Amino acid sequence: MSSQMMRTGIEVIPPGALGAQVRAEILDLCSRAYEEDFAPYLDLLTSATHVLLRGPDQLIAHAAWIERQLIADGMALKTAYIEAVAVAPEWQRHGFGTQIMSALPPLLGHFDLAALSPADEPFYQRLGWEIWEGPLSYLQGTNQVSTPDECVMIYRLPRTPAGLNIGSSLKADWREGDIW
């Protein structure tokens, strides 16, 4: 079936409601898409909201978000931090990544900002994401640790402050796994 003719549907699974069968589907899809065992990473997403794009008989794409507080130029922002964006290898380059990413903003109305660490900057840029141009760092206890080699992109939501300056500093709290 061609991607233009395939009927798809979006399913949103709130934190803590991920059943064993769906978890196994997500694990299989992400492991194949990332070409590595995704289990340790999925274990870090226990508080995530998962968004699934399903075809008639299989999971086609996945994205998730966790709530984080990012601090931009001293301003605390309730952020939907997007994680684990993946499309099944056999369905990549058919528009399903765009479809699942386009489904996210309407679901994020209670957040100030969406952010992610991109694997493919041009893909996200064409969907309206902006590269954070200012310095990035994280807080570990009372220490601020600079992360100059990282890339973060943001997506402005209706609650994003009008004066948000992507050239200012952006800080996150330390977390297990990848900081960004």
In a domain, 20, yes or no: yes
Average pLDDT over residues 136-161: 95
pLDDT of 14-73, one tens digit each? 999 999 999 999 999 999 999 999 999 999 999 999 999 999 889 999 999 999 999 998
pLDDT over 70 (residue 2): no
CATH number at residue 77: 3.40.630.30
The whole-angstrom distance between residue 111's C-alpha and the CA centroid of its chain comes to 13
pLDDT over 70 (residue 164): yes
pLDDT over 70 (residue 1): no
In a domain, 2, yes or no: no
Q: What is the count of structural domains for the chain?
A: 1
Query: Model's pTM, two decimal places?
Result: 0.93
pLDDT of residue 56: 87
In a domain, 179, yes or no: no
For the record, the structure tokens of 118 come out as 């991109």
Q: Kindly report the number of other CB atoms within 10 A of residue 116's CB atom.
A: 23
In a domain, 150, yes or no: yes
pLDDT of residue 128: 97
pLDDT over 70 (residue 5): no
| Rg over CA atoms, the chain | 16
In angstroms, the CA 3 to CA 8 distance is 9
Long-range contacts of 55-59 (CB under 8 A, 24+ apart): 55/6, 55/7, 55/8, 55/91, 56/1, 56/6, 56/7, 58/88, 59/25, 59/26, 59/28, 59/29, 59/88
In a domain, 3, yes or no: no
In a domain, 85, yes or no: yes
Domain limits for position 132 = 9-173
In a domain, 64, yes or no: yes
Average pLDDT over residues 103-127: 97
Better pLDDT: 160 or 1 = 160
In angstroms, the CA 154 to CA 31 distance is 25
pLDDT of residue 7: 78
Average pLDDT over residues 114-142: 96
Under DSSP, is residue 78 helix (H, G, I), strand (E, B) or coil?
A: strand
For the record, the structure tokens of 22 come out as 């769906």
Average pLDDT across the chain, whole number:
94
pLDDT of residue 176: 86
In a domain, 180, yes or no: no
pLDDT over 60 (residue 4): no
Contact criterion met (CB below 8 Å) for 89 and 32: yes
